[in-house]
Amino acid sequence: MGYRGKLAERQQARLLRGAGLPLAEIAALGVSKSSVSVWVRDVEFEPLPGPVRGRRRAPNALQRRRQAEIDRLLAEGRARIGRLSEREFLVAGVALYAGEGSKEDRRVRFVNSDPRMVIFCSWLRHFYQIDEARLRLTLYLHQGLDLAAAMRYWSALTGVPPSQFGKPYRAIPDPSIRHSKHVHGCVTVSYSCSVTHRSVMGLVNALLSDSAIPG
């Protein structure tokens, strides 16, 4: 993506910093922490409220070895992937949609709770001439969590204004099912355009065809 991609990353980093995200969380989206620090140093920052935790114990030897292995493999993964070419970025977005996107006709629809997955918005804008006014976001958020903060978070991450958010679904927590919750909830990105959806599905079908698999 080259210089154009860097400009998009910088703009996204500044939006996220203004929404209250720490440097480490912004960098987790695929940018070095040193670059993020330079890009956002003049952005006013007020940390998002978080849960209060007790004092943590120092990690033991096993935990330190495990973390060292995780850090090594993360670095190895970043080195193997590197910066995507135009074609690789196209295939990556198609693969994401094949796993997490709606297959029903007329609407491009992508759902996830991992902010790194919302790179799909950048992918959609990169490969299609879209009408920004037709982009919609819908949140799935447990009751008791901060809806306004979640809207600011996803709006900054996707570049979609709060006025284009649909009515959120507020789930009732069930401790018998799960104990951890995504503090910003799960987001659905929708774009109503049958031609765009059919084009994306054409790419998905091509990716999943036998001819696309290495012999």
pLDDT digits (tens, 9 = 90+) for 42-97: 777 776 655 545 556 777 788 888 888 988 998 898 899 888 899 999 999 999 99
Which has the higher per-residue pLDDT, 33 or 163? 163
Of 37-46, 54-63, 155-164, 188-197, the poorest mean pLDDT is in 54-63
Q: In terms of pTM, does the model score above 0.85?
A: no
Radius of gyration of the chain (CA): 19
Q: Record the tokens describing residue 160, joined without a space.
A: 């979609």
Q: What is the signed CA dihedral for 74, 75, 76, 81, rounded to 10 degrees?
A: 90
| Identity of residue 36 | V
Place of tokens 């922490």: 33
